[in-house]
Amino acid sequence: METKEKIESPVSHSFKKTERLCSKKVIDKLFAEGESFLAFPIKVVYKVTELPQPVPVQAGFTVSKKIFKRAVKRNRIKRLMREAYRLNKQMLRVDADSQQMAVFFIFIGKELPDFAQVEKAMKKALYKLANSCAVAENKKA
């Protein structure tokens, strides 16, 4: 009987509890002082801040209850956004030693999307976020 070797990928495609944005204080500070941009149908609010966990980025996801009345649809969209983030988060190259960032992804579309639409928007959002972090880092230097 052969034993299957576990193939380790160089990039971790996990989304652990420590990477989830749960702190009420950090979320309040994020929405009060954070910057935002739009990568339709996702609005991104972010702030470089001190996080309670030793991770470079903590992310949160939300969908408007006003637009999507049924919790089933809201949960599906959040699940799609989390999966798209999990697969593409390596686009954000944030050094945990130098800075930490809190990010919130808000779905503002009016129709139930499929995964391809969400992933395309998430890639666009992460690309913009990486660029804005690089610009902020260059201004500090």
CA dist 63 to 75, 123, 135, Å?
A: 8, 18, 29
pLDDT at 3 over 80: no
Q: Phi/psi class of residue 122: alpha, beta or left (left: φ > 0; alpha: ψ in -120 to 50)? A: alpha
Q: How confident is the model at residue 137 (pLDDT cuts 50, 70, 90)?
A: low
pLDDT band at residue 136 using 50, 70 and 90 as cut-offs: low
Cα–Cα dist 118/85, whole Å: 9
Q: Angle at the Cα of 27 (from 41 to 45), degrees rounded to 5?
A: 30
Q: For 69-107, what is each residue's pLDDT tens digit?
A: 999 999 999 999 999 999 999 888 765 457 889 999 999
pTM of the model: 0.86
In the prediction, which pLDDT does 138 show? 64
Residue 6 pLDDT > 50: no
DSSP character at residue 91:
G
Percent of the chain with pLDDT over 70: 84
